[in-house]
Amino acid sequence: MMMASRSLQLFILFVCSLTIITIECSEVEKQNPNLYNITKTVVHSAVSKGAVCLDGSPPAYYFDPGFGDGVDNWIVQISGGAWCVNVTDCIGRTKTQLGSSKYMDKLEFQGIHSKNKSANPDFYNWNKVILAYCDGGSFVGDVEYVDSATNLHFRGKRIFYAILEELLEKGLKNAKNALLAGGSAGGYPAVLYCDNFRDSLPSAARVKCLNDCGYFPHFKNPELEKNWHVRFSGVAELQGAAQSLPKSCTSKMKPELCLYSQNIQQDIKTPLFIFMSAYDNVETKYTFGDYMGGLIDGGKCSASQNQSLIEMRSEFLNALPKGDNPNLRGVFVDSVHHHNSLLRRWIPETAINVNGQLHTKVFADWYFDRKYTYLIDETNELPLTNNARLIWQVDNTTGRVIYTA
């Protein structure tokens, strides 16, 4: 009787184990390779180095390990999220994920971070890292003093190096291929720290950098520049840019001017690629105001507004690196009124096309030294409507992502 009872218990345990395994496998199968969530990794050790978010909380990053023959390849992406330009603005950020790791939730990985080999053949199995942005100043601050009245910390530079140190120990120091990328407000530090990133990987076969939708030009026309001047002057003062930015730039011009990628890129020795729309929708918003976006997308700009847009485009193109050495300075400039090419645009359905060339293929070829490209859309003098303002949905039956404009 005892033997029968024991056998029954073992049978029930076996069935339960199979059930658990089936459920776990089912959950894995449901994970969509094009769009998946990653939990933050908080760098508690950074606090002792003074590398903290605006509110004094430890910084964080998001990490998805590589697999297969991608285990020694790394994408390190620096997040964007505009800037805080005064104390009130920065205090407001401390109650959000843009100023405190306390409010950081899971992050959706997509685009160049997709694990779908057919959609992302060159990078699908790489180690993927996204640095959370919580310093309000494009990772440039290194201010020791903390005002007790505000408790604001401007330590973005320390955050970058503290996270880099942890990633090196995690395996980045053994990388065979590595890319430092940044989007929007994260595009500038991808340029600023490009050579330092390269120098931390002496054995890497290939190390390059990418500024995606963060190459905002310094306009000569004061009407176009006025809003940017207020913005970058505020960032430079709060973040102590005069002390933290390269002397090769600050010795020649005001610190706020050194926050423009165009004024530091010539000193970067590492190969750099630039993705940017000549009519980036953040560029148009901060240059002209919120109202301009609706006019552009609705095709309702007046003749004088169109002329201002054309002038903006012209000044932007003049701010780009020269095209005589595309292996060191690759460029892909489109005319679509959009922002960001690495994430939602990094799929065949919505990739940017200029002269029959997709930006995803152009960049991959440039990165892997298959073909060096310096490409500017010269066909469209005025902005093209953004036709891929996507709403992401997941088909519960197939697990596929559905794109709705």
Q: Which residues participate in catalysis according to the annotation?
A: 184, 280, 339
Q: Which helix H or strand E contains 375, and what residues bound it? A: strand 374-376
Closest CA to 106 of 130, 80, 134: 130
Hey, which residues does 36 pair with through a beta bridge? Answer: 109
The amino acid sitting at 310 is I
CA-angle at 231, arms to 234 and 335, nearest 5°: 155
The amino acid sitting at 20 is I
What is the spatial distance between Cα 7 and Cα 14, in angstroms, rounded to a whole number? 10
Token pair of 159 as six digits: 């955050």
Q: Which helix H or strand E contains 330, and what residues bound it? A: strand 329-334
Helix (H, G, I), strand (E, B) or coil at 108: strand
DSSP per residue, 45-77: GGGGGT---TTSPPPEEEEE---GGGTTEEEEE
Task: Label residues 94-125 b or e (16+ Cβ within 10 Å = b).
Answer: beebbbbbbbbeebebbbbbbbeeebbebbbb
* Cβ–Cβ < 8 Å for 178, 201: yes
Hey, which residues does 75 pair with through a beta bridge? Answer: 128, 179
Token pair of 329 as six digits: 């300075």
* Cβ–Cβ < 8 Å for 135, 155: yes
Task: Label residues 25-37 b or e (16+ Cβ within 10 Å = b).
Answer: eeeeeeebbbbbe
Token pair of 358 as six digits: 């997709």
What is the separation, in whole angstroms, between the first and last Cα of the chain? 67
Parallel, antiparallel or unpaired: strands 272-277 and 329-334: parallel
What is the spatial distance between Cα 299 and Cα 320, in angstroms, rounded to a whole number? 27
Residue 318: CB atoms within 10 Å:
11
The amino acid sitting at 152 is L
